Amino acid sequence: MTPGGTDGPDVISETNFGFVADLLRRETAMLCERGKEYLVEARLLPLARQAGDPDVDHYVDRLRRDAGERARAVDALTINETSWFRDLAPYQAFVDDVLPRLLAARVDTRRLTIWSAACSSGQEAYSLAMLLDEHLPAGWTARIHATDVSPTMVERVRAGRYSQVEMNRGMPATRLVKYFQRVGSEWEVQPQLRTMVTTQVMNLAAPLPPLPTFDVVLLRNVLIYFDHATKQSILDRVQATIAEDGFLMLGSTETTLDLETTWTRESAGPAGRVVLHRPRHGRAVSRPFPDSSSPAASPHLTLRTGA
């Protein structure tokens, strides 16, 4: 591939890039604009080789006639960037601002329910689990629901295993020792954290399946991939799942200011750099997780709906 990924014999053709971009938008509502040819090439080339195709253009020809291969391609293209305690400030705001207010408001139930939406391979969900393990008072419980459009990523969250390279991206040594155990060449999350996390394959751009009422929703670094109308519809659906006194946390470059929303915004975290979004009015209908006797309540059960 030539520098910049815009020309040269090894780069996906304009026609085939358009096909892939249309496929991704049709299946996930995610935008894949010009200038991302290099990304499509990098994500699809391994699949092309596995399928026996000499390059990505031949592989796209396969996608046009093979629905199963199209699903694999979409899965590969929706794997996004993540790390432990990413950007750090939102996690500090969670501990210093969000958690104390929820502890005061939930003293009767002593239970917190959190949604890690577009969770990728699970570093966000397990980062939260560590903080809750460290800061929840005795007798409190918490459930973190981790969802992603990629079945591959959701499977990785369930497995709770990460390479050394992945562990090097933001994991403090003290927490590595406390919360992980070595399994071969990988690190596995300890059971006390894994039991806090449920998983589900979910397309945020489609109608949402039945969900519980959440105290906190983290929808970080995902709205940037959608157009204006899709952002609006996602936020409307997400708001319906948040408790009246709950919180929505977006990525550092994401905002609701340019959207028609019913959110209020509060500054939090170090130097007030974190924006907390709160429902302005209305109350989500309270729907708890299934009873623990139900098969759907297994902490490691992946519900393959909504994808």
| Greater model confidence, 280 or 156 | 156
| 50 lies in some domain | yes
On whether both 100 and 169 belong to a single domain, the answer is yes
Give the percent of the chain with pLDDT over 90. 60
Using pLDDT thresholds of 50, 70 and 90, give the confidence band for residue 33.
Answer: confident
* Structure token digits, residue 122: 């699970």
| Nearest alpha carbon to residue 307 among 113, 78, 44, 126 | 78
Beta strand pairing call for 274-279 and 263-268: antiparallel
Average pLDDT over residues 109-128: 97
Report if residue 125 sits inside a domain.
yes
How do strand 141-148 and strand 161-163 relate by DSSP bridges?
unpaired
**Same domain, residue pair 105 and 197:** yes
**What's the pLDDT at 289?**
47
- The reply to whether 148 falls in a domain is yes
Q: Choose the final residue of a domain: 77, 99, 134.
A: 77
- Close Cβ partners of 263 (under 8 Å, ≥ 6 residues apart): 235, 239, 248, 256, 277, 278, 279, 280
Q: Give the pLDDT confidence score for residue 1 in this predicted structure.
A: 32
The rounded distance, in Å, linking the Cα atoms of 114 and 131 is 13
Is residue 49 domain-shared with residue 147, that is, in the same domain?
A: no
* 217 and 112 assigned to the same domain: yes
pLDDT at 281: 62
Residue at a domain's end among 34, 57, 77? 77
In a domain, 84, yes or no: no
The CATH number that applies at residue 61 is: 1.10.155
Which of the four pLDDT bands, split at 50, 70 and 90, describes residue 2?
very low
Let me know: does 16 contact 60? Beta carbons within 8 Å.
yes
- Three-state secondary structure call for residue 7: coil
Q: Are residues 132 and 47 in the same domain?
A: no
Are 217 and 130 in a shared domain? yes
Q: pTM of the entire structure?
A: 0.79
Cα–Cα dist 254/223, whole Å: 7
Kindly state whether residue 82 falls inside one of the protein's structural domains: no
Is the pLDDT reported for residue 301 higher than 60? Answer: no
Query: Domain with 117 in it: what CATH number?
Result: 3.40.50.150
The pLDDT of residue 168 is above 70 = yes
Residues 265, 127 share a domain? yes
Q: What is the extent of the structural domain holding 243?
A: 89-304
- One DSSP character per residue, 63-124 reads HTT-HHHHHHHHHHHT-----TTTTSHHHHHIIIIIHHHHHHHTTTT-EEEEEEES-TTSHH
Span 76-103, average pLDDT: 91
Do residue 248 and residue 205 come from a single domain? yes
Output 22 or 132, whichever has higher pLDDT.
132
Are residues 45 and 156 both part of a single domain?
A: no
Asked if pLDDT for residue 8 goes beyond 70, the answer is no
How many domains is the chain partitioned into structurally? 2
Of 24, 52, 77, the last residue of a domain is 77
User: pLDDT digit string (tens) for 222-232?
Assistant: 888 888 888 99
Answer whether residue 180 shows pLDDT above 70.
yes
Q: Is residue 115 a contact partner of residue 211, using CB atoms and an 8 Å limit?
A: yes
93: tokens are 């705001």
- For residues 50 and 99, membership in a common domain is answered with no
Same domain, 260 and 119: yes
Per residue in 253-281, pLDDT tens? 877 777 766 889 999 988 889 999 999 86
Considering the domain architecture, whether residues 102 and 73 belong to the same structural domain is answered as: no
